[in-house]
Amino acid sequence: MLGASGVGLSLSSSISACPATKSSRSTRHSSSVVKMAISVEKKPYTLEKSEEIFNAAKNLLPGGVNSPVRAFKSVGGQPIVFDSVKGSKMWDVDGNEYIDYVGSWGPAIIGHADDKVNAALIETLKKGTSFGAPCLLENVLAEMVIAAVPSVEMVRFVNSGTEACMGALRLARAYTGRQKLLKFEGCYHGHADSFLVKAGSGVATLGLPDSPGVPTAAASETLTAPYNDADAVSRLFQQHPGEVAVVVLEPVVGNAGFITPEPEFLAALRRITEENGALLIFDEVMTGFRLAYGGAQEYFGITPDLTTLGKIIGGGLPVGAYGGRREIMEMVAPAGPVYQAGTLSGNPLAMTAGIHTLRRLQEPGTYEHLEEVTGKLVNGLVAAGRAAGHEVSGGFIRGMFGFFFAEGPIRNFEEAKKSDTAKFGRFHRGMLEEGVYLAPSQFEAGFTSLAHTSQDIEQTLDAAKKVFRRI
Protein backbone atom coordinates (compact mmCIF):
# COMPACT_ATOMS: atom_id res chain seq x y z
CA MET A 1 0.00 0.00 0.00
CA LEU A 2 1.37 3.29 -1.12
CA GLY A 3 3.07 5.10 1.69
CA ALA A 4 0.74 3.81 4.37
CA SER A 5 3.53 2.54 6.46
CA GLY A 6 7.17 3.06 7.00
CA VAL A 7 7.22 6.83 6.93
CA GLY A 8 10.32 6.65 9.06
CA LEU A 9 8.52 5.64 12.23
CA SER A 10 11.23 5.76 14.82
CA LEU A 11 10.83 3.99 18.11
CA SER A 12 11.56 7.12 20.09
CA SER A 13 8.97 9.28 18.37
CA SER A 14 6.25 6.70 18.74
CA ILE A 15 6.94 6.28 22.43
CA SER A 16 7.38 9.92 23.32
CA ALA A 17 4.37 11.10 21.39
CA CYS A 18 1.58 9.25 23.16
CA PRO A 19 -0.98 11.92 23.96
CA ALA A 20 -3.40 11.49 26.81
CA THR A 21 -6.65 11.44 24.89
CA LYS A 22 -6.82 8.81 22.26
CA SER A 23 -8.97 7.64 19.46
CA SER A 24 -9.96 4.06 18.86
CA ARG A 25 -7.78 4.01 15.79
CA SER A 26 -4.61 4.49 17.76
CA THR A 27 -4.68 1.84 20.44
CA ARG A 28 -1.95 2.55 22.91
CA HIS A 29 0.65 -0.13 23.19
CA SER A 30 2.90 -0.16 26.18
CA SER A 31 4.70 -3.16 24.90
CA SER A 32 7.94 -4.60 23.68
CA VAL A 33 10.19 -3.31 20.94
CA VAL A 34 9.10 -6.18 18.70
CA LYS A 35 5.43 -5.34 19.03
CA MET A 36 6.08 -1.65 18.36
CA ALA A 37 7.89 -2.55 15.18
CA ILE A 38 5.11 -4.67 13.72
CA SER A 39 2.08 -2.60 14.71
CA VAL A 40 2.84 0.47 12.65
CA GLU A 41 -0.80 1.01 11.66
CA LYS A 42 -1.96 1.32 15.24
CA LYS A 43 0.46 3.97 16.33
CA PRO A 44 -0.80 6.99 18.28
CA TYR A 45 -2.00 10.06 16.42
CA THR A 46 0.79 12.58 16.26
CA LEU A 47 1.69 15.29 13.80
CA GLU A 48 5.34 15.82 14.73
CA LYS A 49 6.71 15.70 11.22
CA SER A 50 3.88 17.78 9.79
CA GLU A 51 4.63 20.39 12.43
CA GLU A 52 8.34 20.39 11.70
CA ILE A 53 7.83 20.72 7.93
CA PHE A 54 5.09 23.34 8.22
CA ASN A 55 7.18 25.42 10.63
CA ALA A 56 10.03 25.40 8.11
CA ALA A 57 7.58 26.29 5.32
CA LYS A 58 6.44 29.39 7.20
CA ASN A 59 9.86 30.93 6.57
CA LEU A 60 9.83 29.92 2.92
CA LEU A 61 6.26 30.47 1.71
CA PRO A 62 3.81 33.20 2.81
CA GLY A 63 1.82 31.60 5.61
CA GLY A 64 3.62 28.33 4.93
CA VAL A 65 1.41 27.45 1.97
CA ASN A 66 0.81 28.08 -1.71
CA SER A 67 -2.96 28.47 -1.34
CA PRO A 68 -4.56 30.10 1.75
CA VAL A 69 -7.20 27.62 2.98
CA ARG A 70 -4.54 24.91 3.34
CA ALA A 71 -3.12 26.76 6.34
CA PHE A 72 -6.08 25.69 8.56
CA LYS A 73 -6.54 29.27 9.81
CA SER A 74 -10.29 28.98 10.21
CA VAL A 75 -10.31 25.63 12.00
CA GLY A 76 -7.17 26.18 14.04
CA GLY A 77 -4.55 23.61 14.78
CA GLN A 78 -1.79 22.09 12.77
CA PRO A 79 -2.03 21.85 8.97
CA ILE A 80 -1.22 18.35 7.80
CA VAL A 81 1.63 17.71 5.42
CA PHE A 82 0.88 14.81 3.10
CA ASP A 83 3.12 12.13 1.73
CA SER A 84 0.89 10.12 -0.61
CA VAL A 85 -2.65 9.43 -1.77
CA LYS A 86 -4.45 6.44 -3.28
CA GLY A 87 -8.14 5.76 -3.89
CA SER A 88 -10.21 7.31 -1.09
CA LYS A 89 -7.23 7.56 1.27
CA MET A 90 -4.41 9.95 2.10
CA TRP A 91 -1.30 9.40 4.24
CA ASP A 92 0.56 12.17 6.00
CA VAL A 93 4.28 12.43 6.68
CA ASP A 94 3.76 11.01 10.18
CA GLY A 95 2.19 7.87 8.71
CA ASN A 96 -1.41 8.65 9.71
CA GLU A 97 -4.12 7.43 7.36
CA TYR A 98 -7.23 9.44 6.49
CA ILE A 99 -10.41 8.88 4.53
CA ASP A 100 -10.38 11.90 2.24
CA TYR A 101 -13.38 14.12 1.49
CA VAL A 102 -11.45 16.95 -0.15
CA GLY A 103 -10.25 15.07 -3.22
CA SER A 104 -7.63 17.74 -3.92
CA TRP A 105 -10.60 20.20 -3.94
CA GLY A 106 -12.42 18.26 -6.63
CA PRO A 107 -10.15 16.71 -9.25
CA ALA A 108 -9.92 13.29 -7.57
CA ILE A 109 -13.44 12.17 -8.57
CA ILE A 110 -12.35 8.70 -9.70
CA GLY A 111 -10.14 8.26 -6.64
CA HIS A 112 -6.57 9.37 -6.10
CA ALA A 113 -3.69 8.02 -8.19
CA ASP A 114 -5.91 5.81 -10.35
CA ASP A 115 -3.88 2.95 -11.86
CA LYS A 116 -5.06 3.54 -15.43
CA VAL A 117 -4.46 7.29 -15.28
CA ASN A 118 -1.01 6.69 -13.83
CA ALA A 119 -0.15 4.13 -16.52
CA ALA A 120 -1.28 6.51 -19.26
CA LEU A 121 0.74 9.34 -17.72
CA ILE A 122 3.87 7.21 -17.74
CA GLU A 123 3.42 6.44 -21.44
CA THR A 124 2.90 10.13 -22.25
CA LEU A 125 5.86 11.11 -20.07
CA LYS A 126 8.19 8.96 -22.17
CA LYS A 127 7.47 11.26 -25.11
CA GLY A 128 8.30 14.40 -23.14
CA THR A 129 6.64 16.77 -20.72
CA SER A 130 5.84 19.82 -22.85
CA PHE A 131 5.84 20.71 -26.53
CA GLY A 132 4.68 24.34 -26.57
CA ALA A 133 3.10 23.35 -29.88
CA PRO A 134 -0.03 21.50 -31.01
CA CYS A 135 -0.47 17.87 -29.94
CA LEU A 136 -3.14 15.28 -30.76
CA LEU A 137 -4.13 14.88 -27.11
CA GLU A 138 -5.61 18.41 -27.14
CA ASN A 139 -8.06 17.33 -29.86
CA VAL A 140 -8.99 14.21 -27.94
CA LEU A 141 -9.83 16.05 -24.72
CA ALA A 142 -11.52 18.90 -26.64
CA GLU A 143 -13.79 16.42 -28.45
CA MET A 144 -14.70 14.82 -25.13
CA VAL A 145 -15.53 18.14 -23.47
CA ILE A 146 -17.55 19.35 -26.48
CA ALA A 147 -19.50 16.09 -26.61
CA ALA A 148 -20.21 16.22 -22.88
CA VAL A 149 -21.05 19.82 -22.01
CA PRO A 150 -24.24 21.15 -23.70
CA SER A 151 -23.12 24.80 -24.06
CA VAL A 152 -19.65 24.03 -25.41
CA GLU A 153 -19.10 23.98 -29.18
CA MET A 154 -15.45 25.09 -29.01
CA VAL A 155 -13.02 25.11 -26.12
CA ARG A 156 -9.77 26.82 -25.09
CA PHE A 157 -7.55 25.00 -22.59
CA VAL A 158 -5.67 26.97 -19.92
CA ASN A 159 -3.84 25.97 -16.73
CA SER A 160 -6.28 26.76 -13.91
CA GLY A 161 -9.85 27.67 -13.10
CA THR A 162 -8.71 31.22 -12.39
CA GLU A 163 -7.36 31.58 -15.92
CA ALA A 164 -10.52 30.04 -17.36
CA CYS A 165 -12.71 32.60 -15.60
CA MET A 166 -10.42 35.51 -16.59
CA GLY A 167 -10.52 34.41 -20.21
CA ALA A 168 -14.29 33.92 -20.25
CA LEU A 169 -14.87 37.34 -18.69
CA ARG A 170 -12.65 39.13 -21.22
CA LEU A 171 -14.40 37.30 -24.02
CA ALA A 172 -17.87 38.17 -22.71
CA ARG A 173 -16.90 41.84 -22.44
CA ALA A 174 -15.50 41.82 -25.96
CA TYR A 175 -18.54 40.04 -27.38
CA THR A 176 -21.11 42.36 -25.78
CA GLY A 177 -19.04 45.55 -25.94
CA ARG A 178 -19.99 46.14 -22.30
CA GLN A 179 -17.91 46.30 -19.11
CA LYS A 180 -19.92 45.29 -16.07
CA LEU A 181 -19.87 41.89 -14.44
CA LEU A 182 -22.63 40.66 -12.17
CA LYS A 183 -21.64 38.00 -9.64
CA PHE A 184 -23.11 36.56 -6.45
CA GLU A 185 -22.01 36.99 -2.85
CA GLY A 186 -19.95 34.03 -1.68
CA CYS A 187 -19.26 32.67 -5.17
CA TYR A 188 -15.61 32.16 -6.05
CA HIS A 189 -14.32 32.42 -9.59
CA GLY A 190 -10.58 32.39 -9.02
CA HIS A 191 -8.41 35.27 -7.91
CA ALA A 192 -8.52 37.67 -10.86
CA ASP A 193 -9.16 41.31 -9.82
CA SER A 194 -12.72 41.61 -11.12
CA PHE A 195 -13.90 38.53 -9.23
CA LEU A 196 -12.44 39.41 -5.82
CA VAL A 197 -15.53 41.24 -4.71
CA LYS A 198 -17.63 39.46 -2.07
CA ALA A 199 -15.85 36.27 -3.06
CA GLY A 200 -16.14 32.89 -1.38
CA SER A 201 -13.56 30.18 -0.66
CA GLY A 202 -10.40 31.47 1.06
CA VAL A 203 -11.62 35.04 0.90
CA ALA A 204 -14.63 34.04 2.98
CA THR A 205 -12.69 31.64 5.16
CA LEU A 206 -10.19 34.28 6.23
CA GLY A 207 -12.83 36.98 6.51
CA LEU A 208 -10.89 39.20 4.13
CA PRO A 209 -12.69 42.23 2.76
CA ASP A 210 -12.17 42.94 -0.89
CA SER A 211 -8.48 42.23 -1.29
CA PRO A 212 -5.98 45.08 -1.15
CA GLY A 213 -4.22 45.43 -4.48
CA VAL A 214 -7.42 45.18 -6.49
CA PRO A 215 -7.75 48.49 -8.38
CA THR A 216 -10.90 50.41 -7.53
CA ALA A 217 -11.54 50.67 -11.25
CA ALA A 218 -11.62 46.88 -11.62
CA ALA A 219 -13.83 46.31 -8.58
CA SER A 220 -16.21 49.12 -9.53
CA GLU A 221 -17.21 47.24 -12.68
CA THR A 222 -18.34 44.30 -10.53
CA LEU A 223 -21.92 44.24 -9.26
CA THR A 224 -23.02 41.70 -6.66
CA ALA A 225 -26.34 40.17 -5.69
CA PRO A 226 -27.34 37.60 -3.07
CA TYR A 227 -27.45 34.04 -4.41
CA ASN A 228 -30.93 32.73 -5.20
CA ASP A 229 -32.27 36.29 -5.57
CA ALA A 230 -33.36 36.80 -9.19
CA ASP A 231 -35.26 39.99 -8.28
CA ALA A 232 -32.03 41.60 -7.10
CA VAL A 233 -30.51 40.70 -10.47
CA SER A 234 -33.42 42.30 -12.33
CA ARG A 235 -33.03 45.45 -10.26
CA LEU A 236 -29.32 45.68 -11.06
CA PHE A 237 -30.07 45.38 -14.77
CA GLN A 238 -32.60 48.23 -14.41
CA GLN A 239 -30.11 50.41 -12.54
CA HIS A 240 -27.38 49.84 -15.15
CA PRO A 241 -29.20 49.65 -18.48
CA GLY A 242 -27.05 48.46 -21.38
CA GLU A 243 -23.97 48.13 -19.17
CA VAL A 244 -23.94 44.57 -17.88
CA ALA A 245 -21.85 42.29 -20.09
CA VAL A 246 -22.25 39.12 -18.14
CA VAL A 247 -23.81 37.30 -15.22
CA VAL A 248 -21.50 34.66 -13.77
CA LEU A 249 -22.27 32.12 -11.09
CA GLU A 250 -21.54 28.74 -9.59
CA PRO A 251 -24.68 26.85 -10.70
CA VAL A 252 -24.37 24.97 -7.41
CA VAL A 253 -22.25 26.88 -4.91
CA GLY A 254 -19.30 25.08 -3.37
CA ASN A 255 -17.20 28.03 -2.25
CA ALA A 256 -19.54 29.37 0.43
CA GLY A 257 -20.25 25.88 1.67
CA PHE A 258 -22.68 23.79 -0.37
CA ILE A 259 -25.68 25.82 -1.55
CA THR A 260 -28.12 24.70 -4.25
CA PRO A 261 -30.07 26.96 -6.60
CA GLU A 262 -33.79 27.19 -5.92
CA PRO A 263 -35.91 25.63 -8.69
CA GLU A 264 -36.56 28.79 -10.74
CA PHE A 265 -33.30 30.63 -10.10
CA LEU A 266 -31.16 29.37 -12.99
CA ALA A 267 -34.07 29.65 -15.45
CA ALA A 268 -34.70 33.22 -14.31
CA LEU A 269 -31.05 34.17 -14.88
CA ARG A 270 -31.20 32.61 -18.34
CA ARG A 271 -34.27 34.69 -19.16
CA ILE A 272 -33.03 37.98 -17.64
CA THR A 273 -29.66 37.81 -19.44
CA GLU A 274 -31.34 37.04 -22.77
CA GLU A 275 -33.82 39.89 -22.37
CA ASN A 276 -31.03 42.33 -21.58
CA GLY A 277 -28.44 41.31 -24.17
CA ALA A 278 -25.98 40.00 -21.59
CA LEU A 279 -24.18 36.66 -21.56
CA LEU A 280 -24.61 33.99 -18.90
CA ILE A 281 -21.51 32.14 -17.67
CA PHE A 282 -21.78 28.99 -15.61
CA ASP A 283 -18.58 28.61 -13.66
CA GLU A 284 -18.45 24.82 -13.64
CA VAL A 285 -14.85 24.58 -12.48
CA MET A 286 -16.19 22.59 -9.52
CA THR A 287 -19.50 21.20 -10.78
CA GLY A 288 -18.36 20.20 -14.29
CA PHE A 289 -18.31 16.40 -14.65
CA ARG A 290 -19.22 16.17 -10.94
CA LEU A 291 -22.98 16.72 -10.75
CA ALA A 292 -23.40 14.87 -14.05
CA TYR A 293 -21.11 14.04 -16.95
CA GLY A 294 -22.39 17.21 -18.65
CA GLY A 295 -22.14 19.23 -15.43
CA ALA A 296 -24.79 21.35 -13.70
CA GLN A 297 -26.13 22.52 -17.07
CA GLU A 298 -27.04 18.95 -17.94
CA TYR A 299 -28.31 18.25 -14.42
CA PHE A 300 -30.63 21.29 -14.37
CA GLY A 301 -31.33 21.52 -18.11
CA ILE A 302 -30.29 25.18 -18.41
CA THR A 303 -27.71 26.09 -21.06
CA PRO A 304 -25.45 29.11 -20.48
CA ASP A 305 -23.58 31.01 -23.21
CA LEU A 306 -20.13 30.26 -21.82
CA THR A 307 -18.83 27.66 -19.40
CA THR A 308 -15.64 27.53 -17.38
CA LEU A 309 -14.10 24.23 -16.34
CA GLY A 310 -11.12 23.04 -14.32
CA LYS A 311 -10.38 20.60 -11.51
CA ILE A 312 -11.79 17.28 -12.85
CA ILE A 313 -10.84 17.89 -16.50
CA GLY A 314 -7.18 17.93 -15.44
CA GLY A 315 -7.44 14.69 -13.48
CA GLY A 316 -5.12 16.16 -10.83
CA LEU A 317 -2.84 18.05 -13.18
CA PRO A 318 -3.16 21.80 -13.75
CA VAL A 319 -5.89 22.37 -16.37
CA GLY A 320 -8.71 24.82 -16.86
CA ALA A 321 -10.88 25.51 -19.89
CA TYR A 322 -13.51 27.86 -21.18
CA GLY A 323 -15.90 27.17 -23.96
CA GLY A 324 -19.22 28.08 -25.48
CA ARG A 325 -21.01 28.84 -28.69
CA ARG A 326 -18.81 28.80 -31.79
CA GLU A 327 -19.60 32.41 -32.83
CA ILE A 328 -18.42 33.63 -29.41
CA MET A 329 -15.38 31.35 -29.12
CA GLU A 330 -14.17 32.33 -32.58
CA MET A 331 -13.44 35.78 -31.16
CA VAL A 332 -10.54 34.26 -29.19
CA ALA A 333 -7.04 34.78 -30.66
CA PRO A 334 -5.75 33.76 -33.11
CA ALA A 335 -9.18 33.09 -34.68
CA GLY A 336 -10.29 36.51 -33.46
CA PRO A 337 -9.01 39.62 -31.64
CA VAL A 338 -9.48 38.67 -27.95
CA TYR A 339 -6.02 37.90 -26.61
CA GLN A 340 -5.32 34.99 -24.27
CA ALA A 341 -2.31 32.66 -24.29
CA GLY A 342 -0.36 30.12 -22.20
CA THR A 343 3.14 28.61 -22.36
CA LEU A 344 1.98 25.30 -20.90
CA SER A 345 -1.64 25.32 -22.11
CA GLY A 346 -2.70 22.01 -23.68
CA ASN A 347 0.21 20.31 -21.97
CA PRO A 348 0.35 16.61 -22.98
CA LEU A 349 0.55 15.24 -19.43
CA ALA A 350 -2.37 17.35 -18.26
CA MET A 351 -4.42 16.39 -21.33
CA THR A 352 -3.66 12.71 -20.68
CA ALA A 353 -4.82 12.82 -17.06
CA GLY A 354 -8.00 14.60 -18.15
CA ILE A 355 -8.78 12.17 -20.96
CA HIS A 356 -8.40 9.07 -18.79
CA THR A 357 -10.32 10.59 -15.89
CA LEU A 358 -13.25 11.38 -18.19
CA ARG A 359 -13.09 7.89 -19.74
CA ARG A 360 -13.49 6.39 -16.30
CA LEU A 361 -16.46 8.67 -15.63
CA GLN A 362 -18.15 7.46 -18.84
CA GLU A 363 -18.42 3.93 -17.46
CA PRO A 364 -21.93 2.88 -16.42
CA GLY A 365 -23.02 3.44 -12.84
CA THR A 366 -20.51 6.13 -11.89
CA TYR A 367 -22.93 8.91 -10.97
CA GLU A 368 -25.26 6.41 -9.28
CA HIS A 369 -22.35 5.31 -7.10
CA LEU A 370 -21.52 8.92 -6.19
CA GLU A 371 -25.16 9.64 -5.36
CA GLU A 372 -25.38 6.56 -3.16
CA VAL A 373 -22.22 7.01 -1.09
CA THR A 374 -22.68 10.76 -0.73
CA GLY A 375 -26.31 10.36 0.31
CA LYS A 376 -25.38 7.84 2.97
CA LEU A 377 -22.66 10.12 4.24
CA VAL A 378 -24.65 13.35 4.42
CA ASN A 379 -27.87 11.83 5.77
CA GLY A 380 -25.79 9.97 8.34
CA LEU A 381 -23.86 13.08 9.36
CA VAL A 382 -26.98 15.19 9.78
CA ALA A 383 -28.75 12.44 11.76
CA ALA A 384 -25.72 11.89 14.00
CA GLY A 385 -25.29 15.62 14.60
CA ARG A 386 -28.94 16.10 15.53
CA ALA A 387 -28.94 13.01 17.74
CA ALA A 388 -26.09 14.61 19.68
CA GLY A 389 -28.13 17.80 20.06
CA HIS A 390 -26.47 20.02 17.46
CA GLU A 391 -28.10 22.27 14.90
CA VAL A 392 -26.90 20.73 11.65
CA SER A 393 -28.10 20.91 8.08
CA GLY A 394 -26.65 19.37 4.97
CA GLY A 395 -27.16 18.63 1.32
CA PHE A 396 -25.61 16.85 -1.62
CA ILE A 397 -25.84 16.21 -5.34
CA ARG A 398 -24.00 13.20 -6.67
CA GLY A 399 -20.34 13.60 -5.62
CA MET A 400 -20.61 17.04 -4.01
CA PHE A 401 -21.90 17.81 -0.53
CA GLY A 402 -21.83 20.13 2.41
CA PHE A 403 -23.13 20.56 5.90
CA PHE A 404 -23.46 23.55 8.19
CA PHE A 405 -23.65 23.92 11.93
CA ALA A 406 -26.83 25.93 11.39
CA GLU A 407 -30.47 25.25 10.78
CA GLY A 408 -31.24 24.80 7.09
CA PRO A 409 -32.08 25.31 4.41
CA ILE A 410 -29.16 27.62 3.65
CA ARG A 411 -29.97 29.65 0.52
CA ASN A 412 -27.20 32.24 0.34
CA PHE A 413 -23.93 33.41 1.83
CA GLU A 414 -25.54 35.59 4.53
CA GLU A 415 -27.33 32.53 5.87
CA ALA A 416 -24.21 30.38 5.55
CA LYS A 417 -22.32 32.88 7.71
CA LYS A 418 -24.69 32.17 10.60
CA SER A 419 -23.10 28.76 10.91
CA ASP A 420 -21.18 28.05 14.13
CA THR A 421 -17.65 28.12 12.71
CA ALA A 422 -15.99 27.62 16.10
CA LYS A 423 -17.92 24.40 16.51
CA PHE A 424 -17.00 23.39 12.99
CA GLY A 425 -13.35 23.89 13.94
CA ARG A 426 -13.72 21.52 16.90
CA PHE A 427 -15.54 19.00 14.72
CA HIS A 428 -12.84 19.23 12.06
CA ARG A 429 -10.02 18.59 14.53
CA GLY A 430 -11.93 15.74 16.14
CA MET A 431 -12.47 14.08 12.78
CA LEU A 432 -8.77 14.34 11.93
CA GLU A 433 -7.93 12.47 15.11
CA GLU A 434 -10.40 9.81 14.02
CA GLY A 435 -8.81 9.52 10.58
CA VAL A 436 -11.19 11.59 8.47
CA TYR A 437 -9.93 14.50 6.37
CA LEU A 438 -12.58 17.19 5.75
CA ALA A 439 -12.06 20.56 4.07
CA PRO A 440 -10.55 22.85 6.71
CA SER A 441 -13.32 25.46 6.47
CA GLN A 442 -17.06 25.64 6.99
CA PHE A 443 -17.24 27.54 3.69
CA GLU A 444 -16.05 24.76 1.40
CA ALA A 445 -17.95 21.89 -0.17
CA GLY A 446 -16.88 18.28 0.33
CA PHE A 447 -16.31 15.67 -2.33
CA THR A 448 -16.65 11.93 -2.65
CA SER A 449 -15.17 9.73 -5.36
CA LEU A 450 -15.70 6.45 -7.15
CA ALA A 451 -13.15 4.97 -4.76
CA HIS A 452 -15.25 5.70 -1.66
CA THR A 453 -16.87 2.52 -0.38
CA SER A 454 -19.79 1.87 1.97
CA GLN A 455 -17.18 0.81 4.49
CA ASP A 456 -15.46 4.21 4.22
CA ILE A 457 -18.80 5.88 4.88
CA GLU A 458 -19.60 3.66 7.87
CA GLN A 459 -16.17 4.32 9.34
CA THR A 460 -16.68 8.06 8.82
CA LEU A 461 -20.10 8.01 10.48
CA ASP A 462 -18.77 6.03 13.45
CA ALA A 463 -16.10 8.68 13.83
CA ALA A 464 -18.62 11.51 13.49
CA LYS A 465 -20.88 10.02 16.18
CA LYS A 466 -17.98 10.06 18.64
CA VAL A 467 -16.87 13.56 17.71
CA PHE A 468 -20.39 15.06 17.77
CA ARG A 469 -20.73 13.81 21.33
CA ARG A 470 -17.59 15.49 22.58
CA ILE A 471 -17.68 18.91 20.87
Ligand X SMILES: *Cc1c(COP(=O)(O)O)cnc(C)c1O
The residues binding ligand X (CB under 6 A) are 160-162, 165, 188-190, 250, 254-255, 283, 285-286, 310, 320
What type of residue sits at position 211?
Answer: S
What are the angstrom distances between the C-alpha of 86 and each of 33, 83, 100, 442?
A: 30, 11, 10, 25
Please indicate whether residue 423 is annotated as part of the active site.
no
Neighbours of 59 (CB within 10 A): 7
Choose between 165 and 197: whose C-beta lies nearer to ligand X: 165
CA pair distance 202, 205, nearest whole angstrom: 5
What are the angstrom distances between the C-alpha of 97 and each of 81, 89, 100, 149?
A: 12, 7, 9, 36
Q: Given the residues 86, 183, 198, 311, select the one marked as catalytic.
A: 311
Please indicate whether residue 283 is annotated as part of the active site.
yes
Neighbours of 344 (CB within 10 A): 16
Q: Nearest distance from residue 67's CB to ligand X, in Å?
A: 7
Question: Which of 374, 437, 444, 375 has the alpha carbon at shortest distance from 416?
Answer: 444
Q: Which long-range contacts (CB under 8 A, 24 or more apart) does 332-339 make?
A: 332/156, 332/167, 332/171, 337/174, 338/170, 338/171, 338/174, 339/170
Q: Nearest distance from residue 322's CB to ligand X, in Å?
A: 11
Q: Given the residues 98, 101, 175, 188, select the one marked as catalytic.
A: 188
Residue number with the smallest Cβ distance to ligand X: 161
Please indicate whether residue 456 is annotated as part of the active site.
no
Q: Nearest distance from residue 439's CB to ligand X, in Å?
A: 12
Q: Nearest distance from residue 169's CB to ligand X, in Å?
A: 12
Choose between 164 and 461: whose C-beta lies nearer to ligand X: 164
Choose between 160 and 222: whose C-beta lies nearer to ligand X: 160
Phi and psi for 247 in degrees, rounded to 5? -110, 125
Q: What residues contact 462, with CB distance under 8 A and at least 6 apart? A: none
Q: Nearest distance from residue 212's CB to ligand X, in Å?
A: 20
Choose between 329 and 439: whose C-beta lies nearer to ligand X: 439
Q: Given the residues 283, 305, 417, 437, select the one marked as catalytic.
A: 283
Choose between 283 and 433: whose C-beta lies nearer to ligand X: 283
Q: Which residues are catalytic?
A: 188, 283, 311
